Amino acid sequence: MRNKSIKIRVTDDEHQALKTLCPVAELATWMRQRCLDPKDVEKVKVQKADPILLRQLAYLGNNLNQITKKVNTSSLSPLDQVLVLVPLVIISEALEKLRHDC
């Protein structure tokens, strides 16, 4: 007898993606089978990120932090600081997106 429930919240896009992947009428039945059937669990392969790539990303992030600190503690004019910091913010956001996508 199933007497426990698990409530998860998903975005509209996540819900649509689950419904698209689900080959049966009931999403809960499919999710239970996918999560608890050992044959299905074994099919899920988590790809490991390349250690060399991770080191390079860490190196770039560290450099961004050092450059930002130098700019913030330098005697550059506010305009020059903005001209340096804006591209750094863009690079930093791109690296963060890469980190989350990997």
The series of mean pLDDT values per 10 residues for the chain, 102 residues long, is 89 89 86 78 66 85 84 86 86 81 68
Number of domains in the chain: 2
Same-domain pairing of 56 and 97? yes
The type of residue at 71 is: V
Query: What domain range is 17 assigned to?
Result: 12-43
Q: Read off the DSSP letter of residue 49.
A: P
CA–CA dist 27, 8 (Å, integer) = 13
Is the CB of residue 49 less than 8 Å from the CB of residue 102?
Answer: yes
Closest C-alpha among 37, 35, 93, 26 to residue 64: 93
Per DSSP, 3 falls in state -
My answer on whether 57 and 97 are in the same domain is yes
Give the model's pLDDT for residue 84.
86
- Same-domain status, 37 and 63: no
Residue 80 in any domain: the answer is yes
How many degrees, rounded to 5, is the angle at CA 63 between CA 58 and CA 68?
125
Q: Determine the pLDDT at residue 95.
A: 79
Nearest to 81 by CA among 96, 73, 55: 73
Contacts of 64 (CB under 8 A, 6+ apart): 88, 91, 92, 95
Instruction: Report the pLDDT value the prediction gives residue 40, as an integer from 0 to 100.
Output: 61
